[in-house]
Amino acid sequence: MSYSLLSDANQRLEKALRYVSLSDDVTERLRYPKASLSVSIPVRMDDGSLRVFQGYRVRYDDSRGPTKGGVRFHPHVTLDEVQSLAFWMTFKCAVLNLPFGGAKGGITLNPKELSKFELERLSRGYVDAIADFIGPDIDIPAPDVYTNPMIMGWMMDQYSIIQRKIIPAVVTGKPISMGGSLGRETATAMGAFFVIQTAMTHFSQSPAQTTVAIQGFGNAGAVLAELMFRAGYQVVAVSDSQGGVYAKQGLDIPSIRRLKDSSRGIRAVYCEGSVCSTVEHASITNEELLELDVDILIPAALENQITAENADKIRARYVFEVANGPTNSAADAILEAKGIHVFPDILVNAGGVTVSYYEWVQNRSGFYWSLDEVNRRLEQSMTAETEKIWAIAQELSVSLRTAAYVHALNRLGDAIQAKGTQDYYVS
Ligand code: GLU
């Protein structure tokens, strides 16, 4: 049988189920996505030709509220991937106690090959195709890999055109001028930073003594690298899809960000820019970065980076999963046996959807918050849920991942059981 991301994701659920006492109804419900939509999106290209793109939207579970999750544009998008991402969103929203279920969307393409006009027609075409499947009280898309506020703005606008009224709460991660929330763009990184700060207090580890390697230099990875650099951590390695750089004494992250913005990639900018002459650096591949001897490893790119093939070579003491699904279930067991603490994606990267929730609340109330208000609430939530998961892990002697699933399952279970279970009907 071919490898399925969704069945791999489901193994985390099976493991956590051993530690909760919930009705079998809950388990049965959570094993399958509620609804999966596949659509063809015809797009008129700039040269006049017509291309048809394949798109998906999956609503995994809505027991706790309307479903929520991003839309990714990537050449590797498949229905299986979108279903597992929707599964993770279900647990992520429950971990943060957001009144949402989980969903995800995607279009299979390389967005770098499309012009802005083509991207706009594609984004609007996607909304035309899924308009009956989404809505502020049904399912709310947001940004994910290779999608951004401009694309969210087009999607919200298209939905409003279809409905013949302005409906900002149908999509989050919009430009501020179209009803976006302050702090949404940096929320994933900020949320991860709050988790890391909370976790490090339990290990009595100060930033200055802590070395960090980050795989992925997109919206989440680059902002987090800078937050950690400014807090005094030694960020010794960063990479993007082209490769990365390593400097034992630490990298100058703000310079790398500045140079990357105006150039082609981390390796090129770092070695052609002024910092190159002042810091002894080495080029490394993405695979080498994962295996560095550092305190903290942060996979912030795509899923399935740490697998049975390389888990044994991971030397970090702590892994914080900023990407969705960077570690598969076979690797979980190996990392656990090595005593590596893995802080799971459904907690670590939940800052993005948490501020999406704040955006949805602001859109619905028509009252907008200051950046301080957003960040204060985010810090409070991320810190509190990290502490709860830490306490569950201690109490049950389980990994932090299993603890996070137990925590989410208890909340999901309450919602599913509240509608009635077998015991209620047959007793
Ligand atoms: N794509 C982000 C995630 O995976 C954010 C989802 C959202 O804001 O709804 O968590």
Does residue 166 sit in the same domain as residue 193?
Answer: no
Does residue 150 sit in the same domain as residue 276?
Answer: no
Let me know if residue 143 belongs to a domain. yes
Q: In the listed set 286, 313, 348, which residue is the last one of a domain according to the structure? A: 348
Let me know if residue 336 belongs to a domain. yes
Does residue 334 sit in the same domain as residue 253?
Answer: yes
**Beta pairing, strands 101-108 & 67-74:** parallel
Does residue 171 sit in the same domain as residue 207?
Answer: no
> CA separation (Å) from 305 to 64, 186, 239?
31, 23, 13
Q: In the listed set 120, 152, 178, which residue is the last one of a domain according to the structure? A: 178
Active site residue 104: yes
Coil/strand/helix, residue 285: coil
Does residue 297 sit in the same domain as residue 213?
Answer: yes
Q: Which domain holds residue 304?
A: 187-348
pLDDT the model gives residue 287: 93
Let me know if residue 401 belongs to a domain. no
Which residues does residue 297 pair with via DSSP β-bridges, in sequence order?
213, 319
pLDDT the model gives residue 279: 54
Buried b (16+ CB within 10 A) or exposed e, 69-107: bbbbbbeebebbbbbbbbbbbbbbbbbbbbebbbbbbbb
Does residue 145 sit in the same domain as residue 34?
Answer: yes
Residue nearest to atom 10 of ligand 1 (CA): 353
Alpha helices in 246-367 (DSSP H): 253-261, 266-272, 275-278, 286-290, 329-337, 345-348, 351-365
| CATH number of the domain where residue 309 is located | 3.40.50.720
Which residues does residue 337 pair with via DSSP β-bridges, in sequence order?
none
Task: Give the count of domains, the chain.
Answer: 2
> Which atom of ligand 1 approaches the CA of 143 most closely?
1
Does residue 202 sit in the same domain as residue 343?
Answer: yes
Contact of 357 with 372, CB cutoff 8 Å:
no
In the set 15, 104, 174, 260, the catalytic residue is 104
Let me know if residue 48 belongs to a domain. yes
pLDDT the model gives residue 275: 44
Does residue 163 sit in the same domain as residue 236?
Answer: no
Does residue 89 sit in the same domain as residue 208?
Answer: no
> Which atom of ligand 1 approaches the CA of 141 most closely?
9
**What tens-digit pLDDT sequence spans the chain (427 residues)?**
357 888 888 888 888 989 998 888 888 889 899 999 999 999 999 999 999 999 999 999 999 999 999 999 999 999 999 999 999 999 999 999 999 999 999 999 999 999 999 999 999 999 999 999 999 999 999 999 999 999 999 999 999 999 999 999 999 999 999 999 999 999 999 999 999 999 999 998 899 999 999 999 988 999 999 999 999 999 999 998 888 899 998 999 998 888 777 765 665 555 554 444 445 678 899 999 999 999 999 999 988 999 999 999 999 999 999 999 999 999 999 999 999 999 999 999 999 999 999 999 999 999 999 999 999 999 999 999 999 999 999 999 999 999 999 999 999 999 988 887 777 777 6
Residues with CB under 6 A from ligand 1: 68-70, 142, 144, 172-173, 324, 349, 352-353, 356
Q: In the listed set 178, 202, 228, which residue is the last one of a domain according to the structure? A: 178
Token pair 């990298």 is found at 251
Let me know if residue 354 belongs to a domain. no
Contact of 306 with 323, CB cutoff 8 Å:
no
pLDDT the model gives residue 266: 63
CA of 89 to the centre of ligand 1 (A): 7
What phi-psi label fits residue 262: left (phi over 0), alpha (psi between -120 and 50 degrees) or beta? Answer: alpha
Contact of 228 with 193, CB cutoff 8 Å:
yes
Let me know if residue 402 belongs to a domain. no
Let me know if residue 335 belongs to a domain. yes
H or E element: which one contains 162? Answer: helix 149-163
| CATH number of the domain where residue 141 is located | 3.40.50.10860
Does residue 128 sit in the same domain as residue 214?
Answer: no
Does residue 191 sit in the same domain as residue 316?
Answer: yes
pLDDT the model gives residue 277: 44
Mutate which of 59, 144, 185 for ligand 1 pocket (most atoms within 8 A of beta carbon): 144
Let me know if residue 262 belongs to a domain. yes
pLDDT the model gives residue 278: 47
CA of 93 to the centre of ligand 1 (A): 10
Does residue 310 sit in the same domain as residue 226?
Answer: yes
> Which atom of ligand 1 approaches the CA of 68 most closely?
9
Summarize the chain as % helix, strand, coil (round to 5): 50, 20, 30
